[in-house]
Amino acid sequence: MSGDVSRPSGRALDALRVVSIEPGFSHHAEGSALIRMGGTEVLCTATVEPKVPGFLRGQGLGWVTAEYGMLPRATHKRGQREAARGQQSGRTLEIQRLIGRSLRAVTDRRAMGELTITVDCDVLNADGGTRCAAITGGWVALHHAFSKLVRNRVLPAVPLLGQVAAVSCGLTDAGAVLDLDYVEDSAAEADANFVLTDRGAIVEIQASAEGAPFTDAQFAALHTLARNGVSALFAAQHAALPKD
Amino acid sequence: MSGDVSRPSGRALDALRVVSIEPGFSHHAEGSALIRMGGTEVLCTATVEPKVPGFLRGQGLGWVTAEYGMLPRATHKRGQREAARGQQSGRTLEIQRLIGRSLRAVTDRRAMGELTITVDCDVLNADGGTRCAAITGGWVALHHAFSKLVRNRVLPAVPLLGQVAAVSCGLTDAGAVLDLDYVEDSAAEADANFVLTDRGAIVEIQASAEGAPFTDAQFAALHTLARNGVSALFAAQHAALPKD
Amino acid sequence: MSGDVSRPSGRALDALRVVSIEPGFSHHAEGSALIRMGGTEVLCTATVEPKVPGFLRGQGLGWVTAEYGMLPRATHKRGQREAARGQQSGRTLEIQRLIGRSLRAVTDRRAMGELTITVDCDVLNADGGTRCAAITGGWVALHHAFSKLVRNRVLPAVPLLGQVAAVSCGLTDAGAVLDLDYVEDSAAEADANFVLTDRGAIVEIQASAEGAPFTDAQFAALHTLARNGVSALFAAQHAALPKD
Amino acid sequence: MSGDVSRPSGRALDALRVVSIEPGFSHHAEGSALIRMGGTEVLCTATVEPKVPGFLRGQGLGWVTAEYGMLPRATHKRGQREAARGQQSGRTLEIQRLIGRSLRAVTDRRAMGELTITVDCDVLNADGGTRCAAITGGWVALHHAFSKLVRNRVLPAVPLLGQVAAVSCGLTDAGAVLDLDYVEDSAAEADANFVLTDRGAIVEIQASAEGAPFTDAQFAALHTLARNGVSALFAAQHAALPKD
Amino acid sequence: MSGDVSRPSGRALDALRVVSIEPGFSHHAEGSALIRMGGTEVLCTATVEPKVPGFLRGQGLGWVTAEYGMLPRATHKRGQREAARGQQSGRTLEIQRLIGRSLRAVTDRRAMGELTITVDCDVLNADGGTRCAAITGGWVALHHAFSKLVRNRVLPAVPLLGQVAAVSCGLTDAGAVLDLDYVEDSAAEADANFVLTDRGAIVEIQASAEGAPFTDAQFAALHTLARNGVSALFAAQHAALPKD
Amino acid sequence: MSGDVSRPSGRALDALRVVSIEPGFSHHAEGSALIRMGGTEVLCTATVEPKVPGFLRGQGLGWVTAEYGMLPRATHKRGQREAARGQQSGRTLEIQRLIGRSLRAVTDRRAMGELTITVDCDVLNADGGTRCAAITGGWVALHHAFSKLVRNRVLPAVPLLGQVAAVSCGLTDAGAVLDLDYVEDSAAEADANFVLTDRGAIVEIQASAEGAPFTDAQFAALHTLARNGVSALFAAQHAALPKD
């Protein structure tokens, strides 16, 4: 592993891919955003329903949850449709649990009241980093849905405690790099997803050796890349928010 | 039922919605098209695989099949994700069988050889007529995939016998109308889907009384609307084909 | 395709198979009928339950629905039991939706009140045309169930607006023919199912090219065959009704 | 529990219901029989396939297996269709395993060679004792299928070692009784199914206290009833065999 | 089949394996017992819930039910995890129904009131006779749970009408033998499970010819072995009961 | 969150629970270990099969995978059996993927050759930290299975590159603590699982804010606790290895 090898995309080690977030792609959802990170495109929609799951009823708390899916040909090779297979894969369930936890971590669930917001993240085109894109775009969809509730006077203010965004990092032949695309991700020795807030706090870290275990120093390098990388994501989110 | 009432959209009785077909939306699929008919948007991708289902093996015939899905919030009210529910609905299965039959009807399966092409039709936004849009857009995705096989010298020519497109018609308060949107579809006394070829032949007719049964004359009126309406769809398909 | 070839069964082009409808085969159902169309035998039972599905509750409307099944060895080759496979096929779901729509089209759902009638159609022996036989026989089972409700003074009159029956037609080597058996159905270029009322109205048309698309004239020939063919079915239904 | 109370049906304690076995009900199966025991009617079909399950391959042994089903309205109250529910109940699986074991116990699996015969037992009308009727009728369907293989010179002789039939007995208010109908079965303190051969041997006994445990003497009384009762079933089977 | 051959384990024909029942293995369950019969080990837990299934509501009766499972590597060859396969096998369902019936047969369901007790029987190591061990151990777990309800003054007394235990017998090369281990069970001509009470009554008998049918005399020999064999099980149960 | 509050268990902030690892609990598995960490008990078995999954065939590489399950009453409240529910939960799938990745990270898959080892981890009693216990105990079961292959001369040496063990840490009212039990886990603001090797490298980190996001300093404190805490686990593993 060394810095003499360049990244397949030619990007600098600490360079994000081009990010864009287009709100309002969905015609019906209370909030929506189509996020692109390089060749990865995820459509995020937020649906508001005036109820909460049974385990929360009567507690004055709201619920934010997420579902994740991938169109069969979002990938290089067509994947079997999960609806046809009759069940969601472990990977899908793991990802949607992560997205839900990440969004709840910056939501004031008492302030939102007994509502449920379901954020659906569907990958239209995949080129690595889909779960991170889903979190970053999902937050924008969620904000739009909350803003609509404020405009409709259902809520006095958007009950979000801050921004949350996510980025992947990994150890590759080129060294520690930020925002892996599919080619890098497939060959990485280790990869990590960092879910961070705009105030510098950690919501979730998932770091995993795909090949050999890695050292504390390598982990610290990934952490630093992520901490620096997310600022561009917070800016892109901000730019996509509803203007008052 | 009478002509004094105008359509909710203000369209003429025999007017299609605005149609557009954008090829190449998918980054990975051999062929793809994003079709819009008014507020209905369907992403169609065509995947080529060098094999055929067991019942066709060794016969020198290819296979064209389709799958259909709808994003959970493509509709006014969020629908449960079929992958989460663990099975596809009867409606989904019925629609994807229709799309597959329609595309096979204009494919020269002997000329294509022992390949399978799977056309995935995923509804991003729904406003009525999704199955018709899927057939019309699916044909373009299929043509693009075949064209790529021709460019790659896998096939000597595109093995399509002509164009196929589909449109819905229905009996509403405004009378017999072409290309129902969701509001009209929900309230129609009867609706019919016509799958037709550019040479004027019939691939499939599905006409169904939602309320009272209808007369032969009413059915003839629907048939005439469809026969006239599809020409614009054939033009839109043509415009979206690969230029040589 | 030409008239010089005779039908495998030796029947005239416009000849139905022998039809018989035996009511009361089921010991427990509120209404039942065993219909035979040539070698096709379908047991239809109608079950009355004093409730309606959630989406209808409190509207004063009843519900008529249908389920369809086939015994594993109703066919030439044993089919896997759907209960063992763990799900109903798309074909099964498509057929039972058609039967339900057809029966609802002639039912006065307001007059029947908040009851549900489930018509189960189980194919004991199959030789083509099972969905059409199920509709024709299902209507008799439904009438018997309603008649029992009238005898028991639950309803003042049978809430049926007329008779509904169905027949298949197809384009074969022998030309356009009525009431296809399995051998004809397997080889037909196109086939169509017509669901018609005794007053000459259309409830449903499903016409489908299995091979090459067909012309308007061919479709009209099929439609005429069906229109003439159903009268014998209405007579057979009438003969099987409860005598007062 | 005492003999002063008579049976709901008025039958003597040791009286079977009227039994009839009609072979050939199925148009396509290699063997079939419609068995009636009073109000219980089971259609049994035997399907021959030239293969064996993986665990038997290459051993020169055949396989006989069974599947069991009940039409939704075979019973007083409509039961949910197992195919719709997505799985077979424990009761269904338990019954079909019993039928399969019973038929295998009298089959010379070496003499039949590497064939599989699947006996489908579908209950058209249920009034108690459906599993016993399925075994008794299933044996006739199996014999017919084997006879057809002999006629077609696939086998030199019918590879059956004897007859097998089954009957239920139970402890009721009327005392120990033979061949319970539904009313008796629902209220019995204990019931037992005896699967016996025409040579007086035991294939299977299943005796079960529904209420209080029962004594050895009571069990012996049930066993005696069964031993005497099955002779009429063997005669009915014999009468339904193919005549040479 | 003759007595000249000795048993694989060297045991006498009428000898049980070493039995031990260790209560309290589970940290959380209201009652639990780890039963060992030779190399078979089953963990039984009893869970109390203050509700009854819908069909019992409001009748003043309790419910005792059982579930059965086997760890994937409880056996010589690893079995697929039923949770991964997505359904329980027919064997599993059959066994858990048997355990539930057996325990209910000695429970005073009126005296226990509207509670449900679920007895989970999970096989940690299997060497034949798992269902019998589950019944014998399950009764101890059930008694412990009831005793806890008595200690907590929810019930005035343990609502059990006696003890129930089960043992297998079979016809092997060595003759009729008691308490088959896996090796014997695999090769037995017939096997039988006897579920008996401490007062000498029968709760359930399941006797099944795996090979040739067996005679009344052979069945009587098995029955005698079982009747004598269970006394040691009742003693082991007694020894494992809570001491007051 | 402050150090003035003591832990529910009275343990020091950096104290592990009592750990024990008992090898050989399973009678049939090639390797097994029953690990206890306080009130958490997990039975780990390793099964060797002479084959690899399709995607690895012919590459000379072995495979190590894991499955995870929990007995229904391993917890305070009985959980529904996943086999009965018909599918494994997202939590289960997530955990078993983690265990498999962790064990593969220290396995020399080329040295083990084309074998598959499946490590089943079944929780008998749960009191927090079950996934960590499964990894730590699973490594011992895996080592035993490899040792058996060495003894049987299938492999020249145990193909493990070192030890791997896991421990949880969390932010609680008492501050940053090591090895959370159930009570602490339920109330923690954040928890993290660290999977580490005996050479000080990282295999996997999963850190997650359950409530408010946490700081880099807090994360560092958790990391330090884990790094120190695992040494006792490595010692316990070592003590449980086969003695030569």
> Smallest Cβ distance to C83: which of D27, D29, D69?
D69
Is A39 close to B32, i.e. CB distance below 8 A? no
- CB of D190 closer than 8 Å to CB of D208: yes
Distance, C-alpha F17 to centroid of its chain: 15
- Please count the other Cβ atoms lying within 10 Å of the Cβ belonging to residue C48: 21
Of D197, D203, D213, the CB nearest to E202: D213
The dihedral formed by the CA atoms of F2, F3, F7 and F11, expressed in degrees to the nearest 10: 160
Residue E210: its pLDDT value, please? 82
The per-residue pLDDT for A112 is: 97
**DSSP-derived secondary structure for B57-111:** TTSS--EEEEEEEE-TTSSSSPPPPHHHHTS--HHHHHHHHHHHHHHHTTB-HHH
Q: How far apart are the first and last CA of chain A?
A: 49
How far is F114 from F56, CA to CA, in rounded Å? 8
Tell me what pLDDT residue C212 has: 87
Cβ of A203 within 8 Å of Cβ of F213? The answer is: yes
D175-178 and E19-23 as β-strands: parallel, antiparallel, unpaired? unpaired
3-state secondary structure at position F116: strand
C212: left (phi over 0), alpha (psi -120 to 50) or beta: beta
φ, ψ for residue B84 (rounded to 5)?
Answer: -75, -35
Nearest to C165 by CA among C233, C99, C113: C233
Rounded CA-CA distance D73/C27 in Å is: 9
Rounded to the nearest angstrom, the gap between the alpha carbon of residue D39 and the centroid of all alpha carbons in its chain is 15
Query: Among D229-233, E76-80, E224-228, which is the least confidently predicted range?
Result: E76-80
Query: Would you say residue A170 has pLDDT above 60?
Result: yes
3-class state of residue E178 by DSSP = strand
**Comparing D81 with D165, which gets the higher pLDDT?**
D165
Per the annotation, binding residues of D for phosphate are 91, 129-131
Q: At what angle do helices E130-151 and E90-104 cross, to 10 degrees?
A: 40
Task: Compare CB distances from E202 to D90, D200, D207 and report the shortest one's residue.
Answer: D207
Q: Does residue E2 surpass a pLDDT of 60?
A: no
Q: Please, which residues have CB within 8 angstroms of residue D216's CB and are 6 or more apart in sequence?
A: E200, E202, E223
Looking from the CA of D111 toward its CB, the CA atoms found within 13 Å total 14
User: Is the separation of the CB atoms in E143 and E32 below 8 Å?
Assistant: no
Q: Which residues of A touch B26 (CB under 8 A)?
A: 73-74, 124-125
Q: How confident is the model over E203-212, as a mean pLDDT?
A: 92
Strand, helix or coil for residue C29: coil
Rounded mean pLDDT of F131-139? 98
- Shortest distance between the Cα of A239 and any Cα of chain F, in A, equals 24
- Is pLDDT of F122 > 50? yes
Cβ F214–A201 below 8 Å, yes or no?
yes
Domain at E162, CATH number? 3.30.230.70
Number of domains in chain D: 1
CB atoms within 10 A of CB E223: 20
3-class secondary-structure state, position D51? coil
**Interface contact flag, F202 A212, Cβ < 8 Å:** no
Confidence category of residue E5, pLDDT binned at 50, 70, 90: confident
Residue B7 belongs to a domain: no
Residues in A touching F234 (Cβ below 8 Å) = none
CB-nearest to D88 from C26, C71, C84 is C84
**Predicted ipTM?**
0.92
List of chain A residues whose C-beta atoms are within 8 Å of the C-beta of residue F105: 209, 211-213
Q: Do D82 and C83 touch (CB under 8 A)?
A: yes
Q: Is B131 a member of any domain?
A: yes
How confident is the prediction for chain C on average, in pLDDT?
Answer: 94
| pLDDT of F2 strictly over 70 | no
Q: Do F201 and A214 touch (CB under 8 A)?
A: yes
Q: Is residue E4 part of a domain?
A: no
For residue A91, say whether it is annotated as part of any ligand binding site. Answer: yes
pLDDT at position E236: 97
Q: Which positions in chain D have a beta carbon within 8 angstroms of at least one beta carbon in chain C?
A: 25-29, 32, 39, 43, 45, 47, 49, 67, 69, 71-76, 78, 81-88, 92, 118, 120, 122, 124-125, 127
CB-CB neighbors (< 8 A) of E192 in chain D: 205
pLDDT tens sequence across C130-178? 999 999 999 999 999 999 999 999 999 999 999 999 999 999 999 999 9
Q: CB–CB of F87 and E86 under 8 A?
A: yes
E1 pLDDT more than 70: no
Strand partners, D48: D117
Separation CA B70–CA B129 (nearest Å): 13
What subunits make at least 3 CB pairs under 8 angstroms with E? D, F
Binning pLDDT at 50, 70 and 90, where does residue F1 land?
very low
SS3 at position D28: coil
Quick: pLDDT tens for E103-152. Answer: 999 999 999 999 999 999 999 999 999 999 999 999 999 999 999 999 99
Query: Residue D244 has what pLDDT?
Result: 62
Interface chains of chain A (3 or more CB pairs under 8 Å): B, F
Give CA–CA dist B220/B216, Å, rounded: 6
Q: What is the reported pTM?
A: 0.88
> Does E84 sit within 8 Å of F67, measured CB to CB?
yes
Higher pLDDT, D36 or C5: D36
List pLDDT tens digits, range A204-219: 999 999 888 999 999 9
Q: Which residues, 6+ apart, have CB-to-CB distance to D242 below 8 Å?
A: D23, D143, D144, D147
Q: For chain B, which chains pass the contact test of at least 3 CB pairs under 8 Å?
A: A, C
Strands D116-125 and D63-70: what pairing? parallel
For residue F58, is it within any domain? yes
Nearest CA in chain D to E93: D90
- A3 pLDDT higher than 70: no
Mutation test of the interface with chain D: which of C30, C34, C68, C78, choosing the one with the most D Cβ atoms within 10 A? Answer: C78
Q: In the prediction, which pLDDT does B244 show? A: 62
Of F164, F182, F173, F174, nearest to F226 by C-alpha is: F164
| The pLDDT value given to residue A30 | 97
User: What is the pLDDT, as a whole number, of residue B243?
Assistant: 78
Vertex A134 angle, CA B81 and A47, to 5°: 50
The pLDDT confidence band at residue A4, using thresholds 50, 70 and 90, is confident
Q: In chain B, which residues have their Cβ closer than 8 Å to the Cβ of C90?
A: 88, 90, 93-94, 96-97
Residues C172, C189 contacting (CB under 8 angstroms) = yes
Is B92 close to A83, i.e. CB distance below 8 A? yes
The residue of C45, C73, C78 whose CB has the most chain D CBs within 10 angstroms, and thus the best one to mutate to test that interface, is C73
Pairing of strands C175-178, D31-37: unpaired
Annotated binding site of E: 91, 129-131
How many angstroms separate the CA atoms of E190 and E170, rounded? 5
Binding residues of F: 91, 129-131
Using a CB-CB cut-off of 8 Å, the residues of chain B touching A86 are 86-87
**Beta strand residue intervals within E16-104, DSSP E:** 19-23, 31-37, 40-49, 63-70
Ranges of residues in chain B whose predicted pLDDT is under 50: 1-3
The secondary structure element, H or E, covering residue E219 is helix E216-239
Question: At F244, is the pLDDT very low, low, confident or very high (cuts 50, 70, 90)?
Answer: low
**Any domain includes F83:** no
| Best to test chain B binding among A47, A68, A78 (most B CBs inside 10 Å) | A78
Q: What is the pLDDT of residue C1?
A: 42
CA distance A2 to chain B (A): 31
Contact D35, D42 (CB under 8 A): yes
Domain span including residue B225: 19-76+89-239
What's the pLDDT at D5? 84
pLDDT tens digits for D28-66? 999 999 999 999 999 999 999 999 999 999 999 999 999
pLDDT confidence tier of residue A1, bands split at 50, 70 and 90? very low
> What's the whole-number mean pLDDT along residues A217-243?
95
Q: Are E41 and E35 in contact (CB under 8 A)?
A: yes
Nearest Cα neighbor of B193 from B128, B237, B140 is B128
- Distance in angstroms (rounded) separating the CA atoms of residues F45 and F123: 12
Looking at D152-189, list the stretches that DSSP marks H as alpha helix, in order from N- to C-terminal side: 182-187
pLDDT at A74 over 50: yes
pLDDT of amino acid C33 = 98
| Chain-centroid distance, C-alpha B173 | 26
Domain assignment present for residue B6? The answer is no
Q: Give the residue from chain A lying closest to B32, CA to CA.
A: A73
Q: Which residue of E has its CA nearest to D223?
A: E216
In a domain, E244, yes or no: no
Residue F101 lies in a domain: yes
> pLDDT tens across C15-36, in order?
999 999 999 999 999 999 999 9
CA distance to partner chain B, nearest, from residue C192 (Å): 9
Nearest to F84 among E39, E88, E124 (CB): E88
Contact A47 B125 (CB under 8 A): no
F82 secondary structure, DSSP code: H
Q: How far is C47 from chain D (nearest CA, A)?
A: 7
Does A85 carry a binding-site annotation? no
Q: What are the residue ranges of helices labelled H in chain A?
A: 82-85, 90-104, 109-112, 130-151, 182-187, 216-239
